[in-house]
């Protein structure tokens, strides 16, 4: 009997009672599954904590679901809308493009552009054959004629390539010329590399076009008995301006295009000007045809725009400055931003549902291992009444979605200070590119993954999951320890997500007197960061529960908030580096990378931010002199001794994994008090010095006092305040000893003070109204 | 690898890497003693003696296909040691049938394999 595997996702990550949510499930080995809505309370199964806790919730969708195997189209490509079949050319033809292949020797055919049916061998195409050579082919169903270049293509080199076919004579030619400049390719002109190839041959027949074959760029149509039509022969690399003509262009005409001239109008059927459509705020998925038929192309699985083109001259580092030099559209054969599965079940959420973290639990067979799925989503309050909100870092969950760095990341073991601990589901996603990757991964062709989405199964946004690289609950499952603490303490709270804050700004936060965020609030769009700043400055009281806080800049489109763009640049702690000239987010036009690059250090918002990381061992905090200040004694009330948090589910201490520190020079508010601090972390903790200093001996934990988690507190305007833990491990210390411990006590002291209206304890400020905490009308 | 085989490799970096590796291994072998192994058995994670730290840094920097990992069969109960493939999409393979009842025991089993590899090659 086949092993039962269940995977799924929801179409929304944040909903309100009464909203409709769709669940998309794929199953192997079974046609039915048992589904039940659960409210998630604790997600870490560590035996020193309370273990996994959920609560079954009645709803109309509970019961037996019919499930089926669903297929996922991976790979980025462009599809041309051509209802009048202008591109079904059955006579003479020219195909041309600027290309920058990243993996010409992958070993299978890659289609650059064409109207080709790979299953039935009809149509025409220009591509790269399994030996890495440019190839042109035409097919009539029974037979295919091919013409290949004399030498393989070089990776990461710009070429202008073309194929012409004279249907009257049967002569086919290939035109291949390097357009390598001082800036645009891997090699310079000092490397004695031959790029040029010109070959010609007589074909025996003309192409025959099927009526429904789509014209594709970076792939070709295929067919499978179970899944039907799909796209194969996916290309890895960039394509700049490309076109189709209904006559064979001559050598001089092709030379003129190669040299930057306008393509001839005579015979032009389509010419996609990949530099058209840029605005100051980015570019979308539509690729504009400037030819007579306006056959625009649409990207699938988000081909990467805002990439340098063949004529990039190194002077400008952003498409906003020179859009005509940013014609590069980058394709990856394993790109995936939406599983696009059929909906398995639609549920109108009960109106009585309380705000919280929920999942549709779906089990097949015995429900063990891969036969159990939790499709996680968050329910907000329709009419906020609680004074507390727990803000889940869904942007960070997206960044890490289905990461595979335990198995693919060269640097991960030295960073983690341990070998990975790999589970069954890690192996499942490693073997199957259909799950897509996260922004910590690289594509198989070596480029960094800059798009991620929640419209696909996210196996690490589940309760119980432990990240392989560090053998810890990571992000969402770790954040449930904070939720469980709120539950245990009996606080009335709602939940929010990053998506809510991005879409609604400070209005999403304003109803709450006190907001706690997550163990790892790393990724923020500009709107999210602005909302946090306005909330705190307007009198909100904010508890930054984690570390590596407010570091990375990401972007979302308003109409597709499930997809996030992330470009890695700046700092020396990034998983991959955006290529020169490709630092800017195609979604917004803003530079990507870390907020440090914008003078928006996390310290300016919450008093501390990234000091370093090490993962394998955590430490306690030691109280600092400020904690003994009578005006601040309320924070540590009930805590005996100097040590706080010498325990925890996150490697035995409340301070560790990733840690943040206070730094006046990076904008820590000058009135910030240092309540407690860790130190003496192991040497696999390395300082992430953002001052641009050279790496040098002594960057590591036992040598460098910078490597510490600072627990900080400061008052903000309008009776606002911030308390920040500076440690990812803090949240995982809360559940120890049935939530009765000095970390829990300290957090209670802070939350109790923060939810109380009026001035903060020990405040020497004049009493002011809480005008900044205007509640949003329900 | 013989000099002739090096000559067929396009990437000369490999030659330097392997020579450096040879010197490094020669030195690291001198660091292995019963005290180091006992130190790791008692504490697989965290700060270690310089002797042990040097060995661990080396093991964690091996080419991916020469690295081991722990496989959690049942978290907190049953673990095994596997070897990474180093090839995208190809899962790790089991190295033996040994079952460990804690992650730290498995990490120590993995460490002993690394020590054996270091001493025997």
The answer to whether B91 contacts chain A (CB < 8 Å) is yes
Secondary structure of residue B69 in the 3-state scheme? strand
Which conformational region is residue A68 in: left (phi greater than 0), alpha (psi within -120 to 50 degrees), or beta? Answer: beta
B7 touching chain A per CB within 8 A: no
Give me the residue from B46, B79, B88 closest to A682, CB to CB: B46
Which of A94-108, A368-382, B10-24 is least confident? B10-24
Q: What pLDDT was estimated at residue B10? A: 80
Average pLDDT value for residue range A123-152: 97
Write a three-state SS string for A28-92.
Answer: ECCCEEEEEEEEEEECCCCCCCCCCEEEEECCCCCEEEECCCCCCCCCCEEEECCCCCCCCCCCC
Q: Which two tokens mark B107?
A: 């990490």
pLDDT higher than threshold 70 for residue B13: yes
Residue ranges of A 405-444 with Cβ closer than 8 A to chain B: 406-408, 410, 413-414, 417-423, 427, 430-431, 433, 444
Report how far residue A717's alpha carbon sits from residue A536's, in angstroms, rounded to the nearest whole number: 8
Residue to mutate among B69, B77, B87, B108, with most A CBs inside 10 A, is B69
The percentage of residues in chain A with a pLDDT greater than 70, rounded to a whole number, is 97
Q: From the candidates B13, B70, B85, B104, which should be mutated to test the interface with A, based on the most A CB atoms within 10 A?
A: B70
Do the Cβ atoms of A44 and A485 come closer than 8 Å? no
Q: Which candidate from A423, A433, A683 shows the least CB-CB separation from B53?
A: A683
Supply A377's token pair: 């989503």
Mutate: best of A419, A463, A616, partner B, most B CBs <10 A: A419
Which of the four pLDDT bands, split at 50, 70 and 90, describes residue B5?
A: low
**DSSP letter string over A254-297?**
HHHHHTTPPPPSTTEEEEEETTTT-BTTB--SEEEE-STT---E
Which of B89, B93, B111 should one mutate to test binding to chain A, selecting the residue with the greatest count of A CBs within 10 A?
A: B89
- 631-670 in chain A: CB under 8 A from chain B: 651
Residue A196: HSE in the Cβ half-sphere, 13 Å Cα cutoff: 4
**C-beta of residue A414 within 8 angstroms of C-beta of residue A686:** no
Q: What pLDDT shows up at residue A644?
A: 98
The interface predicted TM-score of the complex, written ipTM, equals: 0.95
Surface of B (19-48) touching A: CB under 8 A: 44-48
pLDDT tens digits, A667-686: 999 999 999 999 999 999 99
Per the CB < 8 Å rule, is B72 touching A47? no
Stretch B13-34: mean pLDDT, rounded? 96
Under the banding of pLDDT at 50, 70 and 90, the label for residue B6 is low
Q: How confident is the model at residue B4 (pLDDT cuts 50, 70, 90)?
A: low
- CA angle A69-A75-A79, nearest 5°? 105
pTM for this entry: 0.96
Average pLDDT for chain A: 96
A242 lies within 8 A of chain B by CB = no
Would you call A408 and B53 a contact, using CB atoms and an 8 Å cutoff? no
Give pLDDT, residue A690. 60
Q: Is A777's pLDDT higher than 60?
A: no
Question: Residue B3 pLDDT > 60, yes or no?
Answer: no
Residues of A within 8 A of B91 (CB-CB) are 427, 430-431
- Per the rule left: phi > 0, alpha: psi between -120 and 50, beta: everything else, A260 is left
pLDDT reported for residue A2: 85
Which tens digit of pLDDT belongs to each residue from A169-200?
Answer: 999 999 999 999 999 999 999 999 999 999 99
**Distance between terminal CA atoms of chain B?**
13
**CA-based nearest distance B1→chain A, Å:** 23
**What pLDDT is recorded for position A618?**
97
CB contact under 8 A, A683 and B71: no
Write out pLDDT tens, residues A565-582.
999 998 777 899 999 999
* Structural tokens at position A603: 């310290």
Asked whether the beta carbons of A526 and A556 are under 8 A apart, the reply is no
When pLDDT is cut at 50, 70 and 90, the band that residue A766 belongs to is low
Q: Span A77-331: which CATH code? A: 2.60.120.200
Q: Are A676 and A644 within 8 A, CB to CB?
A: yes
Fold that domain A5-71+343-378 belongs to in CATH: Immunoglobulin-like (2.60.40)
Give the distance from residue A701's alpha carbon to the nearest chain B alpha carbon, in angstroms.
9
Considering the domain A379-765, what is its CATH architecture?
A: 3-Layer(aba) Sandwich (3.40)
Which residue in the set A417, A422, A423 is minimally distant from B45, CB to CB? Answer: A417
The alpha carbon of residue B10 and the mean position of all alpha carbons in its chain are separated, in whole angstroms, by: 27
Query: Which of the pair, B70 or A695, is modelled with greater confidence?
Result: B70
Q: How do the domains of chain A map onto residue ranges?
A: 5-71+343-378, 77-331, 379-765
Residue B41, helix vs strand vs coil: helix
Enumerate the residues of chain A whose CB falls inside 8 A of the CB of residue B110.
Answer: 419
What pLDDT shows up at residue A692?
59
pLDDT value for A549: 97
pLDDT of residue A696: 81
Average pLDDT (B65-91) is 97
β A220-224/A228-232 pair status:
antiparallel
Q: Is the pLDDT of residue A434 over 70?
A: yes
Using a CB-CB cut-off of 8 Å, the residues of chain B touching A418 are 44-45, 107
The 10s digit of each residue's pLDDT in A725-759 is 999 999 999 999 999 999 999 999 999 999 999 99
Band of residue A776 on the pLDDT scale cut at 50, 70, 90: very low
- Identify the DSSP state of A294: -
Q: How far is A192 from chain B (nearest CA, A)?
A: 15
Interface contact flag, B84 A410, Cβ < 8 Å: no
Kindly state whether B110 is in contact with chain A, defined as any CB-CB distance less than 8 angstroms: yes
Q: Which H helix or E strand runs over A305?
A: strand A304-307
Q: What is the mean pLDDT of chain B?
A: 93
Q: Using CB atoms, which residue from A417, A421, A683 is nearest to B103?
A: A421
pLDDT in tens, A62-84: 999 999 999 999 999 999 999 99
Q: Which of A152, A418, A424, A620 to mutate to test the interface with B (most CBs of B within 10 A)?
A: A418
Residue A694 has a pLDDT of: 77
Q: Does the pLDDT of residue A379 top 60, yes or no? A: yes
Give CA separation, B106 vs A375, A410, A450, B32, B58, in Å: 31, 21, 35, 19, 19
In angstroms, the CA A516 to CA A641 distance is: 26
CA distance A109 to chain B (A): 19
- Judged by CB atoms closer than 8 Å, whether chains meet at B69 and A423 is answered as no
Give the model confidence (pLDDT) of A442-494 as tens digits: 999 999 999 999 999 999 999 999 999 999 999 999 999 999 999 999 999 99
- Inter-chain touch A418–B47, beta carbons under 8 Å: no
Measured between beta carbons, the chain B residues lying within 8 angstroms of A614 are: none
């Amino acid at each position: 009997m086949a092993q039962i595997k269940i995977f799924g996702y929801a179409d929304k990550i944040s909903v309100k009672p009464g909203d409709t949510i769709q669940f998309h499930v794929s199953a192997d080995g079974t046609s039915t599954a048992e589904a039940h809505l659960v409210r998630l309370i604790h997600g870490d199964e560590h035996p020193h904590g309370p273990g996994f806790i959920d609560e079954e919730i009645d709803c109309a969708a509970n019961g037996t679901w019919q499930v089926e195997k669903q297929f996922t189209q991976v790979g980025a490509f462009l599809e041309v809308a051509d209802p009048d079949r202008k591109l079904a050319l059955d006579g003479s033809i020219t195909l041309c493009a600027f290309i920058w292949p990243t993996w010409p020797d992958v070993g299978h055919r890659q289609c650059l552009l064409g109207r080709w049916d790979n299953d039935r061998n009809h149509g025409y195409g220009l591509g790269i054959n399994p030996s890495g050579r440019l190839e042109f082919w035409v097919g009539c169903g029974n037979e295919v004629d091919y013409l290949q270049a004399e030498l393989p293509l070089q990776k990461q080199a710009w070429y202008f390539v073309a194929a012409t076919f004279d249907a009257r004579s049967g002569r086919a030619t290939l035109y291949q010329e390097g357009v390598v400049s001082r800036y645009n390719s891997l090699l310079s002109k000092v490397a004695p590399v031959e790029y040029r190839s010109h070959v010609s041959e007589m074909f025996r027949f003309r192409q025959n076009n099927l009526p429904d074959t789509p014209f594709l760029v970076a792939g070709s149509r295929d067919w499978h008995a179970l899944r039907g039509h799909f796209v194969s022969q996916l290309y890895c690399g960039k394509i700049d301006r490309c076109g189709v003509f209904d006559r064979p262009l001559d050598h001089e005409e092709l030379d003129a295009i190669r040299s930057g001239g306008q393509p001839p109008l005579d015979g032009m059927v389509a010419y996609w000007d990949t530099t058209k459509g840029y605005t100051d705020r980015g570019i979308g998925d539509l690729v504009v045809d400037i030819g007579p038929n306006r056959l625009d192309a649409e990207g699938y699985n988000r081909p990467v725009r805002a990439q340098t083109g063949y004529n990039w001259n190194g002077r400008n580092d952003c498409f906003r400055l020179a859009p005509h030099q940013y014609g590069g559209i980058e394709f990856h054969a394993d790109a995936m931003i939406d599983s696009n599965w059929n909906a398995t079940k639609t549920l109108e959420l009960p109106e009585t549902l309380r705000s919280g973290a929920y999942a549709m639990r779906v089990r097949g067979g015995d429900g063990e291992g891969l036969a159990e799925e939790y499709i996680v989503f968050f329910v907000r309050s329709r009419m906020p009444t609680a004074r507390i909100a727990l803000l889940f870092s869904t942007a960070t969950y997206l960044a890490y979605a289905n990461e595979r760095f335990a198995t693919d990341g060269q640097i991960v073991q030295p960073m983690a200070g341990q070998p990975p601990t790999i589970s069954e589901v890690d192996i499942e996603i490693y073997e199957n590119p259909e799950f897509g990757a996260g922004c910590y991964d690289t594509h198989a062709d070596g480029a960094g993954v800059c798009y991620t989405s929640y419209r696909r199964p996210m196996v690490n946004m589940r309760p119980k999951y432990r990240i392989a690289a560090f053998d810890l609950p990571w992000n969402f499952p770790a954040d449930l320890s904070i939720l469980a603490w709120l539950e245990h303490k009996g606080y009335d709270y709602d939940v929010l997500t990053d998506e809510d804050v991005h879409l609604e700004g400070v209005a999403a936060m304003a109803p709450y007197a006190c907001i706690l965020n997550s163990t790892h609030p790393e990724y923020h769009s500009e709107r999210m960061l602005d909302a946090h700043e306005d909330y705190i400055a307007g009198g909100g009281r904010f508890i930054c529960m984690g570390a590596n806080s407010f570091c990375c800049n990401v972007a979302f489109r308003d109409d597709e908030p499930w997809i996030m763009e992330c470009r890695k640049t700046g700092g020396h702690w990034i998983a991959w580096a955006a290529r020169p000239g490709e630092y800017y987010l195609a979604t917004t036009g803003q530079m990507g990378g870390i907020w440090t690059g914008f003078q928006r250090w996390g310290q300016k918002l919450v008093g501390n931010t990234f000091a370093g990381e090490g993962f394998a061992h955590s430490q306690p905090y030691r109280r600092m002199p400020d904690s003994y200040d009578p005006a601040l004694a309320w924070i540590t009330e009930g805590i005996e001794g100097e040590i706080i948090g010498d325990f925890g589910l996150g490697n035995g201490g409340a301070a560790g994994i990733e840690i943040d520190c206070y730094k006046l020079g990076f904008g820590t508010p000058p009135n910030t008090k240092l309540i407690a601090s860790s130190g003496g972390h192991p040497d696999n903790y390395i300082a992430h010095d953002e001052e641009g200093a050279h790496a040098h001996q002594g960057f590591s934990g036992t040598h460098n006092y910078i490597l510490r988690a600072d627990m900080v507190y400061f008052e903000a305007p309008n009776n606002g305040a911030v308390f920040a833990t500076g440690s990812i491990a803090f949240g995982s210390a809360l559940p120890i000893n049935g939530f009765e411990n000095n970390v829990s006590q300290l957090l209670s002291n802070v939350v109790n003070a923060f939810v109380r209206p009026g001035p903060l304890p020990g405040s020497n400020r004049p009493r002011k109204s809480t005008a900044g905490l205007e509640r949003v009308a329900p | 690898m013989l000099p002739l085989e090096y000559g067929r490799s396009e990437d000369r970096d490999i030659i330097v890497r392997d020579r450096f590796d040879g010197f490094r291994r020669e030195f690291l072998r001198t660091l292995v003693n019963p005290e180091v192994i006992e130190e790791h058995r008692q504490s697989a994670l965290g700060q270690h003696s310089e002797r042990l730290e040097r060995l661990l840094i080396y093991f964690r920097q091996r080419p991916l296909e020469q690295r081991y990992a722990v496989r959690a069969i049942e978290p907190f109960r049953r673990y095994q040691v596997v070897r990474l493939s180093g090839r995208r999409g190809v899962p790790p393979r089991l190295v033996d049938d040994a079952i460990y009842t804690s992650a730290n025991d498995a990490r120590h089993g993995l460490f002993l394999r690394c020590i054996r590899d270091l001493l025997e090659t």
